[in-house]
């Protein structure tokens, strides 16, 4: 049987992690995988998470199963963080999942269970796991144009033109904030226009929210998304705690479903519960328990928010610094968009040969589409990156 297996395509981002690790050069710079790093190049355990972990260690008396939907105090804390008051709590149901990826997978399966005919519309480009998971599940997909290669900003007219082709009942996958891989995001007016289109055409929003708090702040980052979710009868959100709680390896996420009425909500709840059971039974508890402890304690929550703000403003400083250095090194405004982008990533719009040269000649690693993780930049790496970019372009 095993010999019948076909080689599977590798994840390019994860393959790049291996290439970087194997590079013996001093001063190499890793702008590849989307993991936050502080000024010392470390990915810290957040203070409030560490404190919650100490409390959990003391207080936990059993490792018995929790429930198919996970820890409901976690799900409720996440509903609050993600949706605020934009949607009445009794219209929402949710399941704890292993990471944001787990939430995407469970919600994609829910789409297929509910309506196997639905096409899922994906931004071009998007996070490669979106099309990969949907293809694996045999869910039809279509792309909508999103990124303007000339300006490195959103091509909103093209996006709207493409979404006009969607049929009633189709699903639109949107990045809630901090678009991966481009860093280019919709503004509030554009979210409003998307809301009008979704309502007019009867589409169903599916929001992937993996970076809340990494752009303009915990609340500002979700303003547009909340406007949309508050206006539509049905929607889904896959939220990740990997980045904003720094819980990557503990695998913490939530799948939220917004329903028009109680009966539909309970159908969705039953489907989420059943999908958790069919795929892995009970979701992993540890990281979700930490989020629940942290979010339900005023002091820990305040400290978490303060540290998240430090991370966010640090990344913003790197952005403005890099935009300035690129202006100087290239003697042009070509890269000014770096300062306007938000989140961990910016797609620089470099040709593949330039990305390769940066790696081979300058030991600077970025994803093949020229996506950089801004948090991977050491403070003294701004000038080096800018000068290297200028060199490979000349
Ligand atoms: N969605 C996007 C766009 C991401 O970049 C990520 C990765 O961080 C995720 C979802 C989910 O990540 P995880 O499964 O680690 O929570
Ligand atoms: O885009 C990124 O770099 C992050 C981390 O299969 C990641 O989202 C990358 C690949 C992957 C899972 C997570």
- CATH code where residue 131 lies: 3.40.640.10
Give just the sign of the alpha carbon dihedral 223, 228, 229, 230.
positive
Any idea which residues carry the catalytic annotation? 127, 208, 210, 243
pLDDT score at 389: 97
Closest atom of ligand 2 to CA, residue 33? 3
Looking at the domain assignment, is residue 1 inside a domain? no
Distance (Å, whole) CA 351 – CA 339: 20
pLDDT score at 219: 98
* b/e code 222-261 from CB counts within 10 Å (16+ = b): bbbbbebbbbbebbbbbbbbbbbbbbbebbbbbbbbbbee
Task: Give how many domains the chain has, as a whole number.
Answer: 2
What is the Å distance from ligand 2's center to 245 Cα? 16
Which residue in this structure is represented by tokens 């399941």?
Answer: 95
Shared domain for 38 and 138, answered yes or no, is: no
pLDDT score at 87: 98
- Give the mean pLDDT of 150-178: 98
Q: Is 43 helix (H, G, I), strand (E, B) or coil?
A: coil
Q: Could you tell me if the CB of 34 is within 6 A of ligand 1?
A: yes
Look up the pTM and report it: 0.97
Q: How far is CA 58 from CA 25, 66, 95, 197, in A?
A: 44, 18, 26, 51
Rg of the chain on CA atoms, in Å: 21
Domain boundary among 280, 296, 312: 296
pLDDT in tens, 190-230: 999 999 999 999 999 999 999 999 999 999 999 999 999 99
Question: Given a cut of 90, is residue 380 above it in pLDDT?
Answer: no
Looking at the domain assignment, is residue 53 inside a domain? no
Q: Could you tell me if the CB of 210 is within 6 A of ligand 1?
A: yes
Nearest alpha-carbon partner for 226 in 78, 75, 85, 86 = 86
Q: How far is CA 102 from CA 72, 95, 167, 279, 341, in A?
A: 17, 10, 27, 10, 27
Q: Is the ipTM of this complex over 0.95?
A: yes
pLDDT in tens, 245-295: 999 999 999 999 999 999 999 999 999 999 999 999 999 999 999 999 999
pLDDT in tens, 10-35: 889 999 999 999 999 999 999 999 99
Average pLDDT along the chain: 97
Are 344 and 33 in contact by the 8 Å Cβ rule? The answer is no
Nearest alpha-carbon partner for 275 in 78, 98, 63, 90 = 98
pLDDT score at 78: 98
Closest atom of ligand 1 to CA, residue 253? 16
What's the domain range around 16? 9-45+301-393
Shared domain for 186 and 211, answered yes or no, is: yes
């Amino acid at each position: 049987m095993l010999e019948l297996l076909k080689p599977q395509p590798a994840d390019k981002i994860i393959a790049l992690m291996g290439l970087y690790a194997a590079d013996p050069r001093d001063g190499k710079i890793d702008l590849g995988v989307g993991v936050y790093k502080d000024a010392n190049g470390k990915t810290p355990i957040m203070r409030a998470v560490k404190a919650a972990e100490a409390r959990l260690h003391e207080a936990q008396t059993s490792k018995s199963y929790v429930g198919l939907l996970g820890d409901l105090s976690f799900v409720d804390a996440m509903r609050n963080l993600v949706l605020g008051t934009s949607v009445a709590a009794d219209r929402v149901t949710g399941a704890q999942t292993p990471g944001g990826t787990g939430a995407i997978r469970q919600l994609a399966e829910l789409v297929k269970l509910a309506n196997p005919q639905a096409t899922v519309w994906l931004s071009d480009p998007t996070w490669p796991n979106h099309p990969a998971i949907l293809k694996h599940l045999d869910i039809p997909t279509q792309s909508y144009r999103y990124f303007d290669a000339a300006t490195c900003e959103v091509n909103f007219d093209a996006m709207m033109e493409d979404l006009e082709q969607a049929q009633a009942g189709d699903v639109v996958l949107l990045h809630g904030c901090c678009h991966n891989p481009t860093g280019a995001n919709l503004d509030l007016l554009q979210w409003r226009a998307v809301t009008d289109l979704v309502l007019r055409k009867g589409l169903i929003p599916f929001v992937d929210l993996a970076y809340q708090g990494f752009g303009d702040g915990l609340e500002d980052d979700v303003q547009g998304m909340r406007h949309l979710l508050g206006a539509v009868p049905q929607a889904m959100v896959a939220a990740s705690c990997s980045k904003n709680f720094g819980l990557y390896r503990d695998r913490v996420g939530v799948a939220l479903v917004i329903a028009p009425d109680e009966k539909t909500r309970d159908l969705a709840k039953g489907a989420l519960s059943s999908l958790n059971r069919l795929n892995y039974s009970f979701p992993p508890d540890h990281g979700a328990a930490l989020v629940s402890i942290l979010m339900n304690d005023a002091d820990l929550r305040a400290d978490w928010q303060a540290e998240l703000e430090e991370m966010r403003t640090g990344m913003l400083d790197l952005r403005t610094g890099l935009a300035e250095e690129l202006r100087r090194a290239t003697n042009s405004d070509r890269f000014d968009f770096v300062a306007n982008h938000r989140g961990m990533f910016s797609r620089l719009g470099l040709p593949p040969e330039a990305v390769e040269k940066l790696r081979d000649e300058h030991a600077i690693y970025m994803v093949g589409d020229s996506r950089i993780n801004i948090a991977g930049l050491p403070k003294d790496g701004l000038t080096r990156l800018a000068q290297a970019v200028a060199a490979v372009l000349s």
